[in-house]
Structure 1
Amino acid sequence: MHTTVSLHLRHSRAARVTIALLSCAVLAACGGQHAEGAGNSAPTTSFTEQGVTVTLSVSDWHASKGTLTAVFTPERKGFHLYSTDLPAGGVEGVGRPTAVSVSGSVEADGKLTASAEVRSITVPGVETPLPVYPDGPVTTTLPVRADGNGDATVLIGYASCSTQDGCTIPVSDHPVHLHVTGDRATFNPR
């Protein structure tokens, strides 16, 4: 995308400020995407499935170690995600855990943690309370390390529900591809 800005006051401070602001506006209009490796931004990718947008990033990548962050954002107000500690099959078949796992040339170097506090809700027909996060976005982090250079797969799972509108279909093992070397990690579209 090419943008031409014509200003009569090219050398004035006001003109330089205006050009800087217009550059920021153009970047925002183009989705705010950064080229891989530009500045200090971490590599990111995202997808939307079953009413939740998941944004993944890898940060602090040094000596084949880093942090994989996944932000789960329900698209509709009033929807929550289940705890990472929920059993894989839910409680009495209800719910699915918020899950991030890795395979291939990357492995977990610790436990998946979430930034939100867990609360319990009761669901009609289920005796055991269900552990969920408050409505809205949830950020999870997973320390990871590479076993060498190569390809890895991040598997994402979750289910979003609303106490008023019910639940979306659970997402299980949605793959996101990652390529790692000792000094960088990048997401690969496949």
Structure 2
Amino acid sequence: MNVSPRPRRTRTAPTAVALLCLAALTACGDPSGHDDAATPATGAAPPRTTSFTENGVTVTLSVSDWHAPKGTLTAVFTPEKKGFHLYSTELPPTGVEGVGRPTAVGVTGVLKADGKLTASADVRSISVPGVDAPMPVYPDGPVTTTLPIRADGNGNGNGDATVLFGYASCSAKEGCTIPVADHPVHLRLTDDGPAFAAP
């Protein structure tokens, strides 16, 4: 009696399972093979702080407490060398008898000042050779100023604004640096509030 040989079993089950798993992964993932969860975001949020240095002073500017359409601009003026001071915000625009320049922060464009510029430091008076009137200055070192701001109009639109800085720093021993007038820093008002251009 002839007996037919038993057909050989093939191991297809593990292969089929592997193919199904691969298909599931391909369907759920990015066709390019990249995992979105592992890919870093390319569009970082614009910064709300920026700084610049000119004529011996570093100015750091930030936006805080933004509750549309209002917020606060904070500017910290830091002389690079010890022994240098800044002039009062109350100093006349051309100084006293032509000496000194006020510490100033102004805003133009879609943002406007919503109050007066104030400084955290106390003003003191000093005598400057050749100047009859006393000079109002802040103590040597950094000075923090704040300016209330608001969006022009209803505050719901986007647009550009510019912050303008003016200042001069002086030392009783080394004299004064060249005054800075209307140094511009640009902002962009978005739905999330004002932010500085990314460097």
- Does structure 2 retain, via aligned residues, the 8 Å contact 1:64–1:181? no
In structure 2, distance between residues paired with 1:141 and 1:66: 10
Determine if contact 1:101/1:156 at 8 Å carries over to the other structure: yes
Counterpart in the other structure of 1:165? 174
Contact map agreement 1:62 1:182 (CA 8 A) in 2: no
Identity of aligned residues (%): 77
In the alignment, what sits opposite 2:121? 116
Question: Counterpart in 1 of 2:162?
Answer: 153
Mean Cα displacement is larger for which, 148-157 or 81-90?
A: 148-157
Q: How far apart, CA to CA, are the structure 2 residues paired with 1:87 and 1:81?
A: 14
**Aligned residue for 2:48?**
43
Please tell me whether the aligned partners of residues 86 and 96 of structure 1 are also in contact (alpha carbons under 8 angstroms): yes
Out of 128, 134, 140, the residue aligned to residue 145 of structure 2 is: 140
Counterpart in the other structure of 1:128:
133
Counterpart CA distance in 2 for 1:84 and 1:170 is: 14
Q: Measure the CA separation in 2 of the matches of 1:143 and 1:36.
A: 23
Q: Distance in 1 between matches of 2:135 and 2:73?
A: 26
Q: What is the aligned partner in structure 2 of residue 64 from structure 1?
A: 69
Q: Which residue of 2 aligns with 1:179?
A: 188
> CA–CA distance in 2 between the matches of 1:182 and 1:111?
25
Aligned residues: 152
Q: Which runs of 5+ in 2 are unaligned?
A: 1-43
Post-superposition offset of 1:189: 5.6
Q: Where do 5+ consecutive residues of structure 1 fail to align?
A: 1-34
Q: Give the aligned CA root-mean-square deviation in angstroms.
A: 1.5
Q: Which has the larger radius of gyration?
A: 2
Deviation readout 1:101-149 (Å, 9 max, x if unpaired) = 0000000000000000000001011000000000000000000001242
* Partners of 1:64 and 1:183 within 8 A in 2: no
Displacement of 1:184 in angstroms is 1.4
What TM-score does the superposition give when structure 2 sets the normalisation length? 0.73
Deviation of residue 36 (structure 1)? 3.6
